[in-house]
Structure formats: structure tokens, C-alpha cells
Structure 1
Amino acid sequence: MSTTMNGGQQSVDAGMVNGYLPTVNGESRWEEQFLPIPLRIDDKIRAQKIEARLSKLVLCGATLRQVTDVFESEIEAGLRQKPSSLQMENTYVPELTDGTEEGSFLALDLGGTKFRVLLLELKAGKVMRDMVKLYEISEKLRLGPGEELFDFLAECVQDFVCSEGIENGKFSLGFTFSFPMRQHSISSGELITWTKSFNCSGMEGVDVAALLQRFLTARGLDITVRVLLNDTTGTLIAGAYLDRSVGIGVILGTGSNGCYMERACRVLHWERSHELVEDVCIDIEWGAFGDNGCLDFLRTEFDDEVDSKSLLVNSFTFEKYIGGKYLGDLVSSALGVLARDGLFPAEPAFGYLQTAHVSMFEKENCSSEVSGTLQALRDATGGCSALSNQDALVAQHVAHLISNRAAQLVSVCVATLVRRMGRARVAVAVDGSVFKHHPRIAPLMDKYVALLAPGRPFTVLGAEDGSGKGSALAAAVAARLAAS
């Protein structure tokens, strides 16, 4: 867990311009705090040329303010159901855990080829026991009729409860459905589009929670689908279990997304009575931020290449700046440009470098090592013998620029939400492989959120398994609300 409390800001609030702090500790200019670590190699002229060639990857404070302004504008448009690249979906989740949840709850996690069924036992809001079982979803099911897939999901639930000897029990269930959807209530929603490796037919206009409920009931199971959510909302709820001040959930892994607790009066999309609701969780779907062109001022030639070679061209613009699926490709693209300009010995094979390599480059950079970086570069370039330790430092620098930019852009979103919520303290729950395994992302987020949301105490904490534990906790909250 990393914590930033922004202490000592009150004495300099008078010097703030448009809510931003021009100086930090009266020493360095605010702008300068966003600059990445410079490239340090023996050949100073080469270093200058490389820095100049990659300069568009360096975002200054002024550019981040511009991104902030655009993000705020897109948020407002989305909440008002006006054209926006942000979906701003109402999840209808009005409360998080309060420590009084009791009982046993089921959760389903559908988002990849591995389908999970979980059981969570709670006492006085504390997890006493949790069980999980994995099921493989065949390609035939992922590409066949939707009803066959959902019948299989119900079959897996039946197998799970029978294996646990609880097939005659009565349960509330949380269903994590990690695909874009349009929600109509906390327990109903329609698929917008399949993604990843799924493309089931016959799902147009179908309520996925109701479809699951039909097949569960047909198998004689006394299980009620209480909550339909995605992994981002689940992360928010799982985080609230760890820290009651959590109000923002973030996924920073292969893809990226965020959600937060918004004032109900600011949200126009309601299909249920909400007079007694004060706050509601909004699923931002910020992976598509910029799909309407509002972030074109950020684009570089490296982003253009990665986008053109992606499966979904001209979409998921923001995710391609920060998602783990793309960071390795961005490094490959930048090194390829340097190679074509005679500033790097060889061009890496596009697609070879993965986010795990980026994290390793950064880890070695932090510890002044190059052996792993050099070996990865040789593998990526077909065994280029001309690669040297100095070239490894160049590759580490490219990884740092791209990682720094990713941390900055995620921090813009988080800081905007922290400022928007206006709470005494906001905890941000984050899950995902990039956050967990990249050595610099978490501390950089601490630094940049503090710079972009001065005077706003916050905490960034890791909250694992939002798609599993978070879903079961959401079912517990829904069951508590239904009984009240």
C-alpha cells in the first residue's frame, strides 16, 4: 500500500493558479516535476539526438492540464447523455460494504477462457472462508449460440455447489461480466459488444443477468442474481472492504478502466427510482477516452503504428497509451524508429517485446543493471551482435518514457476524480498486472496525483480479485439493501 497525504499544502494554497500548484516546496517549478529521468549514455551527442527524436513522448504539466480539461468535459457530457468518448455507465450500485454483511454468497467471473465460480462466507463483514473453482470455456462455446454459453455457466454453478455439498442452499450471487454493457438496474444489463475471444450469437438486446437466472432456475437452484457488474466496479467494492474511504476503482492491467462514486443528482441515466440514493457507482469505461478525436494532440508516430497493427483500429485510444497489452509494442515501435534513424543497432520484431519486458527494463534501470535487457533485445532482434550495454540503456530509457507517460495519464484521471469528489480523503483501489508488477507505476502515481490534486489527501492501494471477491461482496451489499 502506498499513501499520499499532500500534507503542508494549505500554507501555499494562495499561490495556486486554476487549482494547480505552481511550485513544490518552494524549490522546483511545478512543471519540472513531470519530467522523466534523462538518458545517460557515454555518447552525449547520440543521447541528445535520441531525446529529440522521442520528445513527443514527454508530457509537460501544461499538456497534462489540457488532458485534465478534456477529461472533465467528457465526464460532464457523458453524465448528461451527450456525445462523449466516455460511456459513464450507471451501475446502480448505491453503497459499498459497511461491515455488517453476513452469510454465504456466490460470485461468477466471466471475462476470459477461464470461468470462475466462488463462494464467500462473511461474518460481521469479515471474510471467514472463500472457495474458488475454475472451468475452461471451449472455443465452440465462446463462438457459438449465447444460450449454450449461459447454460454451460449454470452447469458450472451446479457442479460447484454440488462439489461443496451446498446444492440445497439459498444464495445471492454477484455476476462479473467483463464486457461492455448497458445497465438497466443493479442486476440487469445488455451486452453492447463481445470482446476478447468471445463472439456468441443471439445476444442482441438480451439481459445477460436474466438469461443466467433462467438457466440457474431451470436447474432447480435457489440462487438469485443480485448484482451484475464488471471487474472495475468489483475492484472498487473489494477495495472498500480493505478501506472504508475507497471511492475510486481502477484496473491497470492488460487493459484499463476506472469507476467512482458520483453524486446521484449529477447522473441523468436512471431507469429505476432513486430518490433515496445519495451516491452511485459510475463505470467510466475510459479505455475509449479519445476515440472521438479529443486526445489527438497526444498522438505520436509510435501510437499510430501500434494502433494500425492492433485488432481494433481507431478504438480504445486511451487504453493504447496505458494498457499492458500495448506498452511492449510502443517500446518496439520507438526502438524501430531509432534504428531506422541510425540511432539504434537493430529494429526489434514488432510484437516480441511484452509488458513483462518493459517492467524488467525498468527494474534493471532502477538497479543499474543491463544483462536481462540486453538478452531480451538480442532475442527481439534475431541475435544482433552489435548490441552493447549502452544500447541496453537506450532501450531502458525508451521503456521509462513510455511508462512515465502511462503513469501520468492514469494519474490525470485519478486526480480529476479525487478533486471532483471533494471528500476529506479518498482511497483509490487498483488492480491489474501493470500496477502489481511494474516497479515504477505505483510510486509515479503517488507523485503525479499529488501534483495534479494538491491539497486533496488520498491513498492508492492494491485491491486484488475485484472480479471475484468484489463480486461476492457486491452480492452481500445488494442482499443487505434488499432486506432493509
Structure 2
Amino acid sequence: MECLSPLVLTEDQQQKVREVFLDEMRLGLAANPERTSSLLMENTFIPELPDGTENGEYLALDLGGTHFRVIYVRMKNGRFSEEVVDYFHVPSEKRLGPGQDLFEFLADCIAEFVQKRNLGGRNFQLGFTFSFPMTQKSLDVGILVSWTKSFNCPGVVGEDAVKMLNDAIHKRKDLDITVKAILNDTTGTLVMGAYMDKRCALAMILGTGCNGCYIEKVERIEKWLGKHLESEMIVDIEWGAFGDNGVLDFIKTDWDRAVDDQSLLVHSYTFEKYFAGKYLGDLYREILLTLTKKGLMCGGKIGNLHTHGAITTTSVSRIESDTFKGLLEETKMVLNDVKLNHDDDDLHIAQYVAGIISYRGITLVSLITGILLERMQRNHCTVAIDGSLFKHHPRFRPLMEKLISEFAPGRSFDLRLAHDGSGKGAALAAAIAERLEQKRSLTNSN
């Protein structure tokens, strides 16, 4: 317990995380910040959510990994009446080759989908989920800030992904499609959450990576210059990068540094490396490696613990399930997989480690959620959440409910799994974009 004490966040540290996050939010929204924030605080240009008037047919494109989806939905009186989805694989030469080739490949897949589903000969508005860091100039302009994950196409950073996709679509003569909205999966989750429950004002992804977005008052978005008629706007926080500028180093342990050093993008995505699905398994492995080397478990034998990726976040979730049920079976299997000799004491230590790193991650997410609930001051806020960590880790939902209540006392909220914000949420965003356009043309004609 002494060895693992750096993983336990003290009340003082929790208070400091709160103060630092609020300050980073202020800087991220400021017109002339005194220093750069680690939070992008991006205006998504979505000022309203589904209102039940959505009608018609829409397409959505969901790109964020090696597989992407083309989705067709039909909406009637604000509800989905039909949906069709096809999956496509993005080969490595498209993920790493010239950007123009990637977007032409996406357009080819859309055309294949339209032909296969007999959807040709009509006009479609398309919502584009593009799950990479971008700066938005409007609902249909998204400038790529940097590629992440397994993508690195030259000629796209600093360019508008919507224009590149529209150009590729219009180059083909067989498609009548206009990209109307660009968003990331977190924003899509909020839109999807609001479709399920009108009181939704906050959303997050807790999966391989993590991020959050919420509804902010426009007067607080100081960097959005000029006159605005909207009163509220969804702001994409991009909190996976919280602490990239060093403001969270006071909670960083040697194990966190080891995980960061072995990651693809060192010294970036600081916050999500504390607990997101891509990293939790390696964090766990690094801690067990230290404990075995110190002779505190498994007779000091390290087995395969030095192998990066030898333990996954799924394994941590399995061990946590054991703890919940008072069992040891899954824990034994995980330790056997990494060639560790163990007795019952070792199994209980392994469970304690899984619990303590999970608790730290849940505490960090709950702290931020509490801050946002206090900031928005709503009578009730439904929090829409998507992602494998929230779905499959047995401790996340119950502990988040408990801790958020402590961090935002008296605030009414509930956590709701909002599946497929990146798909159906994008189609809803296209419908919202169409409604906003109609409102604008009515205003202009009057």
C-alpha cells in the first residue's frame, strides 16, 4: 500500500485538479489568453439539439479508425424510422498516402453504398463524423489540427476536411450529396443523447480514448468574435489532452511516465493516458512489474511483465469483475497469461492494483463532470456516455454516480449510455444543419 500510495489522489490534489481544469477552460475560451491552454474548447457551431421536427432521409459518414461506416437513415417526426449501415476497411496506403487519395477513396465507398442500396437519383445531406482534432470555423468547416491513431496523410493538416470530402464527391458525376455538418464522436454522442432525452447537456467518450463536450453560454466563448444571435453552443473540450502543458504533472507517477514513454505520441494526450482503454492495461502491467521486482508479489519473478501490451484493459475489467463477485478465477487466468506464479495473496494484490488505478481514473472523470454540472446550473442534466470502458468496466458507472454526487452536491443528473453518437448522431447533425439553414433563409427573406 505504501508503494502504491502515489496513485491515491489526496483531497488537496483533487482540489488542485479542479482549480487547474477551470483555469484551462477559461484560457481555452479566452480571446487573448495569457498562455496556451491544454484544452482546445472548440466551438462546434451546433446551437440547438434535435427538437422532434426532423423529417427526411440523411446520410452519415463515420471515420475515426481503420474501419469506417456509411449510414443511411430515414427520419419521421423526429424519430428514426429506418437505418442501414455498411462497414468499409481503410487500407494502410490510404491512411498514410496523399490526403486527396483518402477522400477520393471515401467518396468511392459512398458511391458503392448508394448503388448497392438503390439510393441513387436523389439529393442527400450528409453528416460527417471526423474523430480527429480539428478547428471549426462553422458547422460545415473543420480544419484538421493533427492526425492521430493510425492516420498520417500528407496534405490534410491545416486543410478543411469538409471541402476535401465535398470535392471528392463532386468529382464523381454519379452522386448528389452535400456534406452539411462535421463533428467528432463526442459531439455526436451529445446530439444522440438529446434525441434520447431532451435534458441531455453533457456527453463523453470513455473508450480507447476519452473526451467530453457540453452546452456553454455563448457570452462565455470570448474567442468567438463578432455578433451572435445564438444563446448557447456545444463546446468540444478535447480533454484527452488536458495536462499536455504540464499543469497535471503534480499527480503523475513514474508508472504514468513509463506508459507515456512507450506510447505512439509521447508527451501528448496526458489526461487520457491516466485511465483510457488504450493505456489502462499497460499502466497496470507497469505497476505489477514494479511490485514483482521489489519482491512484493509472485516471489519476485516478473514473467512476461516487461512486454508492452502483455496485459490489456479488458484484462483489468475482468479482474475488477472478480473483485465485485468475490472470486479469483479471472484474476488467475490473467496472471497465468503473463507467466506469473502466484498464491492467493498475490491474486488479492493483483485485484487491489486493478481497483486502485480504476478508482483514480473514475475520480478524475467524476471531478470534471462535477465541475461542468456546477457550471451549467441545470435543474437536471442527463449525461450521455459512449465507449467500451464505460460499457464493460464494472466499476465505472456505479462509482461515477457516487463520486459525481459528492463533487456536485445537490445537482440532479443521470448517466445514460448513448450508443452510436458517431453514426446516428452525425445524421441528426445533418438534419439540424438543414433546419438552421431554413431558419436563416426565412430570416433573410423577412
Q: Secondary structure at the match of 1:131?
A: strand
2:278 to 321, 325, 329: 325
In structure 2, do the counterparts of structure 1 residues 299 and 204 end up closer, same or farther at CA, with 3 Å as the change threshold? closer
SS of match in other structure, 1:96 = coil
RMSD between superposed Cα atoms in Å = 1.2
Residue of structure 2 equivalent to 1:231? 185
Q: Which residue of 2 aligns with 1:473?
A: 428
What residue is the counterpart of 1:130 in the other structure?
A: 83
Name the CA distance, whole Å, in 2 between partners of 1:282 and 1:466. 16
**Aligned counterpart, 1:3:** none
Identify which of 163, 166, 181 aligns with 2:134. Answer: 181
- Decide whether aligned partners of structure 1 residues 96 and 274 sit closer, same or farther in structure 2, where only a CA change above 3 A counts: farther
Choose from 398, 404, 414 the match for 1:459: 414
Counterpart residue number, 1:4? none
CA distance in 2, matches of 1:284, 1:374: 40
1:256-405 equivalences in 2 (<5 Å): 256-270=210-224, 275-345=228-298, 346-347=301-302, 348-350=305-307, 351-380=309-338, 382=339, 384=340, 386-405=341-360
In structure 2, what residue type is equivalent to 1:194?
A: W
For residues 397 and 465 of structure 1, what CA distance do their matches in structure 2 show?
33
Give me the whole-angstrom Cα distance separating, in 2, the residues matched to 1:95 and 1:161: 29
Q: Which residue of 2 aligns with 1:191?
A: 144
Residue 6 of structure 2: aligned partner: 56
In structure 2, how many angstroms separate the alpha carbons of the residues matched to 1:434 and 1:196? 18
1:361-391 superposed Cα distances (whole Å, 9 cap, x missing partner): 00000111111211211211x3x3x311221
Output the CA distance in 2 between the equivalents of 1:204 and 1:339.
Answer: 44
Q: Any idea what the Cα deviations from partners look like across 1:1-24, whole Å, max 9, x if unmatched?
A: xxxxxxxxxxxxxxxxxxxxxxxx
> 1:77 is matched with which residue?
27
* Structure number with higher relative contact order (C-alpha < 8 Å, ≥ 6 residues apart): 1
For 2:50, the equivalent position in structure 1 comes to 97
Residue aligned with 1:128, SS: strand
**What is the CA-CA distance between 1:115 and the residue it aligns to?**
1.4
User: What is the DSSP-based 3-state SS (H/G/I as helix, E as strand, rest coil) of the residue aligned with 1:338?
Assistant: helix
Whether 1:433 and 2:391 are equivalent positions in the alignment is no
Q: Distance in 1 between matches of 2:177 and 2:48?
A: 22
Give the superposition deviation at 1:63. 2.0
Give the match for residue 370 of structure 2.
415
Deviation at 1:334, TM superposition (A): 1.0
Counterpart check, 1:251 vs 2:232: no
Q: Secondary structure at the match of 1:226?
A: strand
Deviations 1:296-333 (A, max 9, x none): 11011111111111111111110101211111111111
User: Offset at 1:204?
Assistant: 3.6
**Partner of 1:324: helix, strand, or coil?**
coil
1:117 aligns with 70
**Secondary structure of 1:411's partner?**
helix
Aligned counterparts of 1:143 and 1:87: Cα–Cα separation in 2: 25
Higher mean alpha-carbon deviation, 303-312 vs 108-117, is at 303-312
Partner of 2:123: 170
> For the structure 1 residues 430 and 174, does the alpha-carbon distance in structure 2 shift closer, same or farther, using more than 3 Å as the test?
same
- Whole-Å Cα distance in 1 between the matches of residues 380 and 103 of structure 2? 41
| Rounded Cα–Cα distance in structure 2 between residues aligned with 1:152 and 1:338 | 49
Write out per-residue CA displacement over residues 11-56 of structure 1, whole angstroms, 9 at most, x where no aligned residue: xxxxxxxxxxxxxxxxxxxxxxxxxxxxxxxxxxxxxxxx111011
- Please give the alpha-carbon distance, in whole angstroms, between the structure 1 residues aligned to 2:366 and 2:203: 13
* Structure-2-length-normalised TM-score: 0.94
* Mapped contact 2:147–2:157 kept (Cα < 8 A): no
Q: CA–CA distance in 2 between the matches of 1:274 and 1:404?
A: 44
Letter in 2 for 1:477: I
Q: Which stretch shifts more, 60-69 or 98-107?
A: 60-69
Question: Which of the residues 354, 376, 397 maps onto 1:442?
Answer: 397
The C-alpha deviation readout for 1:338-379, integer Å capped at 9, x for no partner, is 111110113324421101001000000011111121121121
- CA distance in 2 between partners of 1:359 and 1:204 (Å): 36
State the alpha-carbon separation in 2 of the partners of residues 280 and 353 from structure 1.
Answer: 40
**AA partner of residue 370 (structure 2):** A
Listed one character per residue, the Cα deviations across residues 78-122 of structure 1 (whole Å, up to 9, x for unaligned) are: 000421110111111111111111111100011111111001111
Q: Alignment partner of 1:258: what SS?
A: strand
Letter in 2 for 1:431: D
Q: Tell me the distance in 2 between the aligned counterparts of 1:132 and 1:70.
A: 42
Contact 1:171 1:222 in 2 (8 A): yes
Tell me which amino acid in the other structure corresponds to 2:224: W
The whole-number CA distance in structure 1 between the counterparts of 2:46 and 2:30 is 19
How far off is 1:274 after superposition?
Answer: 5.4
**1:240 equivalent among 194, 204, 210:** 194
Q: Distance in 2 between the 1:468 and 1:482 partners?
A: 22
What code does the residue aligned with 1:306 have? V
4+ residue segments displaced more than 3 Å:
none
Q: Which amino acid aligns with 1:374?
A: K
Q: CA deviation at 1:210?
A: 0.9
Structure-2 residue corresponding to 1:16: none
Letter in 1 for 2:427: A
The alpha-carbon distance between structure 1 residues 274 and 171, as it changes in their structure 2 partners (threshold 3 A), is farther
5+ residue gaps, structure 1, are: 1-50
Query: Which residue is equivalent to 2:110?
Result: 157
Letter paired with 2:7: L
Gaps spanning 5+ residues in structure 2: where? 440-446
> C-alpha separation between the residues in 2 aligned to 1:388 and 1:79?
53
**Distance in 2, Cα, partners of 1:275 & 1:311:** 40
Q: C-alpha separation between the residues in 1 aligned to 2:352 and 2:97?
A: 46
